[in-house]
């Protein structure tokens, strides 16, 4: 698949679990595995991947292989005719060779393997012929040989592999098939396998060093075969009867993958047991899965595993010694993929994306809902439910997800590490639903109706009825005012979201729509019909504008602005392709871009909000991410939100966990510090010991060194003397040897001169003989040349004579020939007649002989057959004889081994008897010791019993104290509530007392001022004029407003009377009228005062009654205090510090105690004593003790008495002041009248 201007491949999630040998290491950190319709090359360090797409004729991938030199990748593909193998370069991913065998009847290749030198490739086809073919792939592809492994019973063949040490040896395993072949003279030659076992289902195999091969049976047994001879069954083979999925070898041994985990076998030192079981590791996340394929990295640090539930795991092989078997040591390679469900199909049923976050959510038949991050190419969250999810919809905020199940729809919150349900809606079998663009609504397709709900209240907004078939697509318009739906009835409707009314509609009878999409303005719609057509509608006028026929069908569609993306539905041809149609012009539907990424039909598609990413999911469980090159919106990187939902409980749990871990860290830190200090102390002691030891050794070595130096000096002196004597001796011997050798040299010189003279004499003789030989040879050559010249001349003369004789004979032959031909014609005619008779006789004889010949031929064939049968029987007997000889040899070896084992066991028995005797002695000693210990145990039990009784009594006391403590806590909480209520009431009463105090202060000030002014007026009692003026001022200052006005008029009359002199009667009448008014006012005031006095008396009586009730409560509290005396001290420490707002000087007479409120607020005033009584009752709590209660009651009683005294004093003061004021007023009026009557001029 090549990227173009439309789509660019980004990533794919998923694994093709049905592919044989589906995981391999290309190099360290580079992995290949099949996903969708391609082979993925994944780089784990950078999380980048490349695709090796399949060819155009391929239906699926059947097997994978990587060459031993890691330069080539072989991919087996299934086609409609036969299976083929494509070999790609591991660096450039270009196809280098293709293996295509025309004689192959199978459509698949089950297994591929390269030889150790990568010059040959072995392929194994599938049913029905199970063709095994050997290829030469070094240069040009060439078939070396092929062989059909099909058996009459149709046994399946699983695997065929090369021997790493000898590529001419091949091992084949299958269901009841275990065979070895050797490649000889361009053909497969079977090799006899020495094994006496019933045929089994041999599931997998792996070659080991030393020409060994380990083979796994379906029962779990692991068979070791070496040099075509069965050696043993490993005693540590799996005995649980679970199937072994695969075996892979590495330098230390081999790894067996099976159900739920792996078993690591290492080389054993025991000659009878070739390999021993090291450790067993389980996949904790899914113990029921089966490991189907494994691969070891080039450095043998990492083991890569693929499982039957379509997952990829990595396991660290480098530190298996320190790994714990009960821990989860398997890590997911990339992310957990969608796996097969109960129907064994890994289909993804739902897919959706959001706006605020780079998330895409998917659900599948494996009952899981997964949240993927398409920017970081990771899986952020996964939740497995109890039932299969039919479809899914993601809120635009990315914080909520809507999941449809068989019997209901769930609205869930996407938390930090969980998908938590919020609300359930009873809607069955919904396969299509979506959120609105703003997220405030979500629409649900319920069979033939569409229901719109509010997202945050889950209330039904509207119901849209009008379809006669199932609704297959639901699309919101921008602004969320309208909704488009299409269904299997061929109807297209545009609805009002709020009212649920149809605004536009179109029905296509005889047709049905399987999918649909529209632009944001809902002006154009694209619908997929059941006749494999894409129909373009003008949604404003509901008119069909264009239609395009799609080969193979369309499963899903998605609108992308300038392009329409359609996913292949698998109706015919290759499924899983994605076509991109350019829209917006007259060329719609022409030359679409085709991208083959899935091997199954595309089940769902969606586009990101910014239009830069396309997501497609398939029935094969793969999820692909594409970048849209020609996006309709801005291609700038969008800033996504980072907020997540976290519940308060989770947050508190995390905080508690963090606090617990902090405490644990501190505890571990202290423990580590303590351990370090201990180790430091130990190491210091060890260092001191070692230092002392080495110092001692150093001192000893120094002494020894000094001793050795002295010995060295003595030895040097000794050797110097010996060296001098040797030098003298050697010089004398040298002189003697020199004289002897000089004599020998002179003798040899004389002998050399004699030999030189002899050599010169011999050379002269040889030269003379050589010259004589040369002369004789030259004469011999001349004589021989002359002789041969004469012979050549004689031969030439003879040749001439023969040629003349030949011509004469040719003439004679021609004449003779003519004569003979004439005679021959007569003889032929004569003989013709004779031989015709003979011919007839011979024909008859021939017919007779033919019959006899046929009979003899049949007899001969029978004889030949008997001979061949006898030969086969003889060969079989020979083979049987060989087998018997070999078995005899094996039995002899076994006998020797058994004898050896018997001897060893006899020795062991002797050792064990000695051991038993020793143990018996120890047992007797231990029995004696046991008797002593039993006596001590009885003594200790007698000592422990009283303590246990004491412990039991103390436990009972603790339980009783706990019960009492709980009662005190309960009473304490109740008293706390009462104290709170009383404090509130006390605060209100204090505020009211302050207000009354201010009012009384104002009245007292008024009375004091009036008394002071009245006292000043009384001092002027002898001076009538000043007294009159003073009383007049008092009247003006302290009278009511109407009297003040009148007083003002009086003032004017006085001045006028002083000026006029004739208005005395009018003034007198005015004064009389005012006096009568004042008298009536005084009477009304007296009545009001009487009423107030009655109210005060009533309040006083009520206070007395409440005091009696308080006294009763005190008595009850005294009785309760007797029960609380034991805990009084503790309760005083806990609650003794509570303040008493009613105490202090405020409750004492003469210290500013405020009287009750005026009569106008009698109701509030009457409520105050009751709150006082409640305060007194609440004061009797165990926190203050009985002393506090008594002090509170005394203060309350004093407060009541002071209030009563204050009321009486105020009552007397108000009565006296009012009387004086009334008396003074009347006196003033009478005096004025008398003065006016007696002296009219005044």
At residue 844 the predicted structure's pLDDT band, cuts being 50, 70 and 90, is: confident
Number of structural domains found in the chain: 4
Inside any domain, residue 942: no
Eight-class DSSP state of 176: T
Inside any domain, residue 46: yes
Mean pLDDT of 381-394: 94
Which residue did the predictor score with more confidence, 155 or 369? Answer: 369
- Domain match, 1084 and 1222 both: yes
**Sign of the C-alpha dihedral, residues 545, 607, 48, 636?**
positive
φ/ψ of 1213, rounded to 5, equals -65, -45
Beta bridge partners of 613: 627
Inside any domain, residue 138: yes
Mean pLDDT of 1153-1161: 37
Distance of CA 822 to the CA centre of its chain: 112
In 3-state terms the chain splits into helix, strand, coil percentages (rounded to 5) of 45, 25, 30
- Domain match, 1052 and 1199 both: yes
Q: How far apart are CA 839 and CA 951, in angstroms?
A: 137
> In this structure, are residues 533 and 515 in contact, taking their beta carbons and an 8 Å threshold?
no
Q: Rg for the chain (alpha carbons), in Å?
A: 62
Q: How far apart are CA 569 and CA 529, in angstroms?
A: 12
Strand locations in 375-496 (E): 378-384, 391-394, 400-404, 409-414, 419-425, 433-435, 441-446, 449-454, 460-465, 471-476, 482-487, 491-496
Inside any domain, residue 1050: yes
Contacts of 929 (CB under 8 A, 6+ apart): none
- Domain match, 36 and 117 both: yes
- Domain match, 630 and 723 both: no
Residue 752 to residues 243, 739, 742, 757: CA-CA distances in angstroms?
A: 94, 20, 15, 9
- Domain match, 1185 and 1079 both: yes
Q: How many separate helices (H) and strands (E) can be counted in the chain? A: 7, 56
- Domain match, 603 and 731 both: no
SS3 sequence of 711-772: HHHHHHHHHHHHHHHHHHHHHHHHHHHHHHHHHHHHHHHHHHHHHHHHHHHHHHHHHHHHHH
* Model confidence pLDDT, tens digit, residues 1066-1093: 666 777 777 777 877 787 787 878 787 8
Q: Which of 584, 608, 635 is the last residue of a domain?
A: 635
Q: Which of 127, 150, 173 is the last residue of a domain?
A: 150
Among 232-236, 445-449, 772-776, 1074-1078, which range has the highest average pLDDT? 445-449
Mark residue 227 as left, alpha or beta (left: phi above 0; alpha: psi -120 to 50; beta: remaining).
left
* Model confidence pLDDT, tens digit, residues 854-873: 777 777 777 887 887 888 88
pLDDT score of 333 more than 60: yes
Helix 1162-1179 and helix 1064-1123, axial crossing angle in degrees, nearest 10: 20
For residue 1051, what pLDDT is reported?
A: 39
∠12-16-17 over CA atoms, to 5°?
Answer: 140
- Domain match, 718 and 574 both: no
At residue 28 the predicted structure's pLDDT band, cuts being 50, 70 and 90, is: very high
pLDDT score of 123 more than 50: yes
Least-confidence region, from 5-9, 488-492, 1151-1155: 1151-1155
Q: Is 190 helix (H, G, I), strand (E, B) or coil?
A: strand
User: Can you tell me which residue has the tokens 């829209």?
Assistant: 583
> In this structure, are residues 362 and 372 in contact, taking their beta carbons and an 8 Å threshold?
yes
Strand locations in 447-596 (E): 449-454, 460-465, 471-476, 482-487, 491-496, 502-507, 513-518, 524-529, 533-538, 543-549, 554-559, 563-568, 577-582, 593-596
pLDDT score of 453 more than 80: yes
- Domain match, 1054 and 1150 both: yes
Helix 1185-1238 and helix 1128-1135, axial crossing angle in degrees, nearest 10: 50
Inside any domain, residue 910: no
Contacts of 566 (CB under 8 A, 6+ apart): 528, 534, 550, 554, 556, 557, 558, 578, 579, 581, 592
For residue 1187, what pLDDT is reported?
A: 59
Inside any domain, residue 1141: yes
- Domain match, 732 and 606 both: no
At residue 917 the predicted structure's pLDDT band, cuts being 50, 70 and 90, is: confident
pLDDT score of 755 more than 80: yes
Q: Which of 101, 134, 150 is the last residue of a domain?
A: 150
Contacts of 249 (CB under 8 A, 6+ apart): 206, 207, 208, 214, 255
Q: How far apart are CA 55 and CA 53, in angstroms?
A: 7
The pTM of the full predicted model, rounded to 2 decimals, is: 0.57
Query: Mean pLDDT over all residues of the chain?
Result: 82
* Model confidence pLDDT, tens digit, residues 638-687: 788 888 888 888 889 889 999 999 999 999 888 888 888 888 888 888 89
Inside any domain, residue 486: no
Q: How far apart are CA 974 and CA 902, in angstroms?
A: 88
**Sign of the C-alpha dihedral, residues 154, 159, 165, 167?**
positive
pLDDT score of 485 more than 90: yes
- Domain match, 1023 and 1163 both: yes
Beta bridge partners of 303: 296, 315
pLDDT score of 134 more than 50: yes
Inside any domain, residue 1110: yes
pLDDT score of 50 more than 60: yes
Determine the structural domain holding residue 1200 and report its residue range: 988-1235
Which residue did the predictor score with more confidence, 3 or 822? Answer: 822
Distance of CA 454 to the CA centre of its chain: 33
């Amino acid at each position: 698949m090549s990227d173009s201007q439309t789509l660019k491949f980004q990533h794919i999630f998923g694994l093709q679990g049905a592919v044989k040998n589906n995981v391999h290491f290309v190099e360290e950190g580079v992995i290949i595995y099949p996903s969708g319709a391609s082979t993925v090359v994944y780089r784990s360090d950078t999380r980048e991947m490349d695709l090796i797409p399949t060819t155009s004729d391929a239906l699926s991938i059947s097997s994978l292989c990587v060459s031993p030199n890691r330069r080539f990748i072989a991919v087996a593909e299934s086609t409609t005719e036969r299976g083929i193998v494509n070999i790609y370069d591991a660096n450039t991913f270009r196809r280098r060779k293709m293996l295509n065998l025309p004689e192959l009847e199978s459509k698949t290749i089950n297994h591929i393997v390269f030889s150790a030198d990568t010059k040959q490739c072995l392929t194994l086809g599938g049913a029905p012929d199970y063709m095994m073919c050997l290829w030469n792939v070094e240069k040009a592809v060439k078939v070396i040989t092929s062989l059909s492994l099909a058996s009459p019973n149709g046994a399946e063949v699983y695997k065929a592999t090369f021997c790493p040490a000898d590529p001419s040896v091949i091992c084949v395993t299958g269901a009841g098939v275990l065979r070895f072949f050797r490649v000889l003279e361009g053909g497969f030659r079977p090799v006899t396998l020495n094994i006496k076992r019933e045929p089994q289902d041999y599931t997998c195999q792996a070659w080991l060093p030393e020409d060994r091969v380990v083979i796994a049976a379906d029962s779990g047994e692991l068979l070791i075969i070496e040099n075509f001879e069965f050696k043993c069954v490993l005693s540590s083979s799996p005995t649980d009867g679970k199937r072994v999925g695969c075996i892979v070898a590495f330098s230390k041994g081999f790894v067996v993958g099976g159900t739920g985990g792996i078993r690591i076998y290492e080389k054993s030192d025991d000659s009878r047991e070739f390999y021993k079981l090291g450790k067993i590791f389980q996949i904790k996340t899914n113990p029921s899965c089966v490991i189907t394929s494994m691969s070891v990295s080039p450095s043998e640090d990492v083991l890569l595993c693929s499982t039957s539930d379509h997952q990829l795991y990595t396991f660290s092989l480098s530190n298996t010694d320190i790994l714990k078997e009960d821990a989860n040591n398997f890590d997911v390679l990339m992310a957990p993929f969608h796996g097969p469900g109960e129907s064994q199909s890994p289909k993804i049923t739902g897919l959706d994306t959001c706006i605020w976050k780079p998330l895409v959510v998917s659900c599948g038949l494996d009952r899981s809902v997964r949240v993927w991050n398409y920017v970081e190419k990771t899986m952020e969250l996964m939740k497995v439910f109890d039932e299969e999810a039919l479809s899914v919809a993601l809120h635009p905020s990315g914080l909520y997800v809507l999941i449809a199940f068989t019997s209901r729809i769930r609205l869930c919150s996407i938390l930090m590490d969980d998908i938590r349900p919020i609300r359930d809606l009873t809607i069955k079998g919904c396969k299509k639903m979506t959120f609105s663009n703003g997220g405030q609504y979500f629409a649900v397709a319920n069979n033939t109706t569409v229901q719109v709900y509010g997202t945050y209240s889950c209330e039904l907004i509207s119901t849209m009825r009008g379809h006669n078939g199932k609704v297959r697509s639901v699309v919101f318009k921008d602004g969320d005012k309208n909704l488009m739906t299409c269904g299997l009835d061929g109807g297209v409707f545009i609805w009002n979201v709020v009212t649920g009314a149809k605004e536009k509609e179109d029905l296509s009878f005889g047709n049905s729509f399987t999918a649909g999409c529209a632009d944001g303005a809902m002006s154009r719609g694209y619908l997929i019909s059941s006749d494999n057509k894409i129909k373009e509608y003008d949604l404003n006028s509901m008119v069909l504008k264009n239609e395009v026929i799609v080969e193979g069908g369309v499963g899903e569609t998605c609108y992308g602005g300038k392009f329409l993306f359609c996913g292949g539905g698998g109706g015919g041809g290759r499924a899983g392709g994605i076509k991109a149609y350019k829209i917006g012009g007259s060329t719609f539907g022409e030359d679409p871009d085709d991208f083959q990424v899935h091997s199954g039909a595309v089940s769902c598609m969606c586009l990101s909000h910014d239009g830069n990413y396309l997501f497609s999911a398939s029935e094969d469980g793969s999820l692909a991410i594409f970048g849209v090159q020609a996006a309709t919106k801005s291609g700038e990187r969008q800033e996504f939100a980072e907020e997540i939902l976290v519940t308060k409980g989770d947050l508190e749990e995390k905080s508690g966990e963090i606090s617990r871990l902090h405490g644990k860290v501190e505890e571990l830190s202290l423990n580590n510090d303590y351990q370090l200090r201990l180790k430091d102390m130990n190491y210091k002691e060890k260092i001191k010991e070692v230092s002392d030891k080495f110092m001692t050794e150093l001192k000893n070595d120094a002494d020894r060194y000094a001793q050795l130096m002295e010995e060295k000096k003595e030895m040097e002196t000794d050797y110097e003397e010996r060296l001098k004597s040797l030098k003298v001796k050697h010089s004398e011997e040298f002189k003697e040897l020199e004289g002897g050798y000089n004599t020998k040299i002179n003798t040899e010189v004389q002998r050399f001169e004699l030999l030189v003279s002899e050599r010169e004499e011999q050379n002269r003789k040889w030269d003379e003989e050589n010259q004589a030989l040369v002369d004789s040879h030259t004469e011999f050559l001349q004589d021989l040349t002359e002789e041969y010249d004469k012979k050549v001349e004689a031969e030439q003369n003879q040749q001439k004579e023969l040629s003349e004789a030949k011509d004469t004979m040719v003439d004679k032959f021609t004449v003779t020939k003519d004569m003979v031909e004439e005679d021959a014609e007569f003889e032929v005619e004569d003989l013709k007649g004779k031989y015709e008779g003979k011919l007839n006789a011979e024909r008859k004889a021939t017919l007779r002989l033919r019959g006899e010949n046929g009979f003899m031929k049949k007899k001969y064939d029978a004889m030949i057959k008997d001979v061949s049968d006898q030969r086969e029987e003889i060969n079989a007997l020979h083979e049987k004889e060989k087998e018997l000889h070999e078995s005899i040899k094996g039995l002899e070896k076994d006998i020797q081994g058994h004898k050896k084992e018997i001897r060893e066991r006899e020795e062991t028995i002797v050792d064990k008897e000695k051991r038993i005797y020793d143990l018996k002695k120890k047992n007797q000693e231990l029995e004696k010791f046991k008797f002593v210990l039993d006596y001590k145990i009885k003594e200790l039990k007698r000592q422990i019993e009283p303590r246990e009784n004491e412990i039991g009594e103390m436990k009972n006391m603790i339980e009783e104290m706990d019960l009492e403590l709980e009662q005190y806590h309960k009473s304490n909480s109740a008293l706390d509530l009462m104290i709170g209520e009383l404090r509130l009431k006390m605060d209100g009463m204090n505020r009211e007392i302050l207000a009354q105090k201010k009012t009384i202060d104002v009245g007292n000030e008024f009375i004091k001022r009036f008394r002071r002014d009245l006292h000043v007026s009384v001092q002027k009692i002898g001076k009538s004029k000043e007294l009159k003026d003073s009383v007049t001022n008092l009247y003006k200052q302290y009278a009511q407003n109407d009297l003040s006005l009148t007083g003002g008029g009086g003032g004017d009359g006085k001045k006028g009377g002083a000026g006029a002199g004739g208005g005395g009667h009018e003034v007198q009448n005015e004064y009389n009228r005012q006096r009568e008014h004042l008298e009536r006012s005084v009477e009304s005031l007296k009545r009001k005062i009487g009423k107030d006095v009655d109210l005060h008396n009533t309040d006083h009586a009520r206070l007395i009654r409440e005091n009696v009730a308080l006294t009763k409560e005190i008595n009850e509290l005294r009785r309760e205090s007797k029960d609380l005396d034991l805990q009084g001290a503790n309760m005083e420490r806990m609650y003794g510090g509570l303040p008493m707002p009613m105490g202090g000087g405020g409750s004492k007479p003469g210290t500013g105690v405020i009287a009750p409120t005026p009569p106008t607020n009698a109701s509030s005033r009457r409520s105050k004593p009751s709150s006082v009584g409640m305060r007194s009752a609440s004061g009797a709590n165990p926190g203050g003790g009985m002393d506090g209660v008594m002090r509170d009651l005394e203060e309350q009683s004093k407060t009541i008495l002071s209030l009563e005294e204050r009321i009486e004093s105020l009552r007397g003061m108000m009565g006296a002041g009012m009387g004086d004021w009334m008396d003074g007023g009347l006196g003033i009026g009478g005096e004025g009248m008398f003065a006016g009557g007696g002296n009219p001029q005044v």
